[in-house]
C-alpha cells in the first residue's frame, strides 16, 4: 500500500494522475476524448482504422503506463476493435488470455478498472463465441476495484437485450459513447442530473436500435455514469433534455426557460445519426446553441444521451472545453445533415482524397462571439459514415485565429 501511495504522489507531481483510456477504436466518437486533455491514451498509431488495433502496442502501453483508473474497451484488447469482434476467428480461451493484461495492470499499479464489452449484433459471425467470453468474465465482477458492464449497439434482428440481461453484470443500449460515459464515472461520480423529456410520452417510446423504452435507456446511461437522478426542484448539477422531434418550437421554449436556471445538455433523439434542422434553426436563431452545456445528435438515442451527459458533466466548469465540445458537436450535426449525404452522392467508397472537398459546403457559424471555421475533413476509415474535423475558432475582429 505504501508503494502505491508513493507512486500516486509521484504521478500527481508529474501531472500523470489522469485516467487512462483505451478506446474501442479510432472512429471519432471513441477517439475524441483523447484530445480533450482529461485522459492518457495509447499512441494514435496503435489504432489502424478498419484493420484493427495493434494489440502488441496496446499491451506494451498498459505494461508501462501507471494510473489510478483505467477505462477500457474489452473488445479492443480481445479482438482489435468492434469491427474485428464480429468476424475474427479466435477460440474463447484465446480471447480471455488476451484480456489478462488488464488484471496484470490492476495488480501491478493498483488502479481501478472500468471495463465495457459489446454484446454482438445480429450479423456477427461469432456471436456465440463473444457471448461465451462475456459470460466467462463473471468472476471479474467480484474482484475489488474492477467494474464491468455490457452494452449493445444494435438490437434490430437480434436478441441482444435479452442476452445482455442474462449476463452477471449491468447492461444497457449503446456502444460508441460508452467510453465517454465511463470517463464521467471516473472523473465526476455522483453528478446530480434532472432528466426532462420533450413530452412525457417519450419516456415510454421504444426507440430505434435499442429495443427498450427510452426511460430504461436513460436509467441505464445514468447508472453507467454513476450519476444520481434528481428532480428539478432539487437544483441539479445538470439537466439532460431528451428531444424526440415532435415540436421544435416548444422544445426551444423549454430550453430557454431551463437554461435560465440550469446548465442543460441536449440530446436530439429525433432521428438516428442525424439531428433535427428545425430545432437547430431555433437554437441558432435564439442564440441558445452556444449556451448549452452539451449537444449530441450523431448516433442512436443511447449514443446521444451518453455523449450529452458525459460532455455536459465533464466540462461543467471549463468554459473553453465546453465551447470546443459544442464546436465538435455542431460539426457532427452538420455532417449528418449535409456532409455525409453530399459525399455519398458524389464518391464511391473507399473515399478518394477529392471527397475532402466537402469542406467547401461549410456554413457561416458563430459560437461564443467567434466564427467557427472548418479547415478540413479527414476520413480515418475512408468511408462516409464518419469524418474527423479540423476546426478553427476565429475572432470576429481582424487578427490571428485560435486553432483548437
For 336-365, the pLDDT digits (tens) are 999 999 999 999 999 999 999 999 999 999
Cβ-in-10-Å burial (0-12, 13-18, 19+) of 135 comes to middle
Q: Cis link prior to 350 (omega < 30° from 0)?
A: yes
The CATH number of residue 143's host domain is 3.40.50
CA–CA separation, 36 and 57 (whole Å): 22
Q: In what side-by-side order are the strands of the sheet with 228-229?
A: 228-229, 192-197, 238-243, 264-268, 294-296
Write the CB contacts of 126 (distance below 8 Å, at least 6 apart in sequence). Answer: 86, 87, 88, 89, 90, 120
pTM: 0.94
CA–CA separation, 281 and 186 (whole Å): 35
365 is in which domain, residue-wise?
A: 320-403
- φ, ψ of residue 310 to 5 degrees: the values are -65, -50
Q: Are residues 302 and 332 in the same domain?
A: no
- Measured N-to-C along each axis, helices 301-314 and 214-225 cross at an angle, to the nearest 10 degrees, of 40
User: How sure is the predictor about 155, in pLDDT bands with cuts at 50, 70 and 90?
Assistant: confident
The pLDDT value given to residue 315: 98
Q: Are residues 373 and 355 in the same domain?
A: yes
Q: Are residues 63 and 169 in the same domain?
A: yes
Q: Are residues 281 and 383 in the same domain?
A: no
CA–CA separation, 255 and 292 (whole Å): 9
Write the CB contacts of 12 (distance below 8 Å, at least 6 apart in sequence). Answer: none
Q: Which residue has the higher pLDDT, 262 or 14?
A: 262
pLDDT per position as a tens digit, 74-131: 999 999 999 999 999 999 999 999 999 999 999 999 999 999 999 999 899 999 999 9
Q: Are residues 205 and 177 in the same domain?
A: no
Q: Are residues 275 and 171 in the same domain?
A: no
Q: What average pLDDT is seen over the chain?
A: 93
pLDDT per position as a tens digit, 2-36: 344 344 434 434 445 799 999 999 999 999 999 99
Q: Are residues 1 and 26 in the same domain?
A: yes
* The domain boundary residue, chosen from 317, 348, 363: 317
* The domain boundary residue, chosen from 120, 153, 187: 187
Quote the number of domains for the chain: 3
Does position 251 have pLDDT exceeding 90, yes or no?
A: yes
Q: Are residues 350 and 367 in the same domain?
A: yes
* The domain boundary residue, chosen from 187, 216, 238: 187
Q: What percent of the chain has pLDDT over 70?
A: 94
Q: Are residues 96 and 181 in the same domain?
A: yes
Q: Are residues 262 and 343 in the same domain?
A: no
The CATH number of residue 209's host domain is 3.40.50.2300
Q: Are residues 329 and 272 in the same domain?
A: no
Q: Are residues 112 and 128 in the same domain?
A: yes
Amino acid at each position: 500500500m505504501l508503494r502505491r501511495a508513493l507512486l500516486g504522489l509521484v504521478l500527481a507531481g508529474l501531472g500523470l494522475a489522469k485516467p487512462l483510456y483505451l478506446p474501442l477504436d479510432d472512429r471519432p466518437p471513441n477517439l475524441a476524448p483523447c484530445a480533450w486533455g482529461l485522459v492518457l491514451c495509447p499512441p494514435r498509431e496503435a489504432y489502424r482504422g478498419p484493420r484493427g488495433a495493434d494489440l502488441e502496442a496496446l499491451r506494451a502501453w498498459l505494461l508501462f503506463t501507471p494510473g489510478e483508473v483505467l477505462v477500457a474497451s474489452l473488445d479492443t484488447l480481445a479482438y482489435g476493435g468492434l469491427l474485428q469482434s464480429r468476424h475474427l476467428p479466435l477460440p474463447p480461451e484465446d480471447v480471455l488470455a488476451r484480456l489478462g493484461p488488464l488484471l496484470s495492470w490492476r495488480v501491478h499499479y493498483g488502479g481501478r478498472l472500468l471495463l465495457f464489452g459489446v454484446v454482438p449484433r445480429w450479423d456477427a459471425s461469432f456471436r456465440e463465441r463473444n457471448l461465451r467470453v462475456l459470460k466467462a468474465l463473471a468472476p471479474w465482477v467480484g474482484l475489488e476495484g474492477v467494474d464491468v458492464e455490457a452494452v449493445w449497439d444494435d438490437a434490430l434482428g437480434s436478441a441482444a437485450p435479452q442476452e445482455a440481461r442474462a449476463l452477471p453484470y449491468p447492461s444497457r443500449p449503446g456502444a460508441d459513447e460508452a467510453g465517454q460515459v465511463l470517463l464521467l464515472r471516473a472523473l465526476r461520480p455522483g453528478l446530480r442530473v434532472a432528466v426532462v423529456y420533450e413530452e412525457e410520452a417519450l419516456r415510454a417510446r421504444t426507440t430505434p436500435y435499442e429495443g427498450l423504452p427510452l426511460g430504461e435507456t436513460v436509467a441505464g446511461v445514468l447508472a453507467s455514469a454513476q450519476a444520481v437522478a434528481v428532480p428539478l426542484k432539487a437544483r441539479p448539477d445538470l439537466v439532460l433534455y431528451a428531444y424526440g422531434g415532435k415540436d421544435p418550437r416548444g422544445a426551444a421554449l423549454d430550453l430557454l426557460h431551463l437554461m435560465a436556471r440550469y446548465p442543460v445538455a441536449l440530446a436530439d433523439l429525433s432521428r438516428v445519426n442525424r439531428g433535427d434542422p428545425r430545432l437547430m434553426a431555433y437554437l441558432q436563431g435564439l442564440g441558445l446553441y452556444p449556451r448549452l452545456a452539451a449537444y449530441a445528435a450523431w448516433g442512436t438515442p443511447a449514443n446521444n444521451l451518453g455523449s450529452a451527459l458525459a460532455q455536459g458533466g465533464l466540462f461543467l466548469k471549463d468554459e473553453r472545453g465546453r465551447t470546443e465540445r459544442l464546436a465538435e458537436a455542431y460539426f457532427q450535426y452538420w455532417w449528418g445533415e449535409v456532409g455525409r449525404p453530399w459525399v455519398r452522392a458524389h464518391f464511391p467508397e473507399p473515399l478518394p482524397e477529392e471527397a475532402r472537398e466537402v469542406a467547401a459546403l461549410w456554413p457561416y457559424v458563430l459560437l461564443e462571439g467567434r466564427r467557427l471555421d472548418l479547415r478540413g475533413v479527414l476520413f480515418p476509415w475512408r468511408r462516409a459514415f464518419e469524418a474527423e474535423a479540423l476546426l478553427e475558432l476565429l475572432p470576429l475582429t481582424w487578427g490571428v485565429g485560435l486553432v483548437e
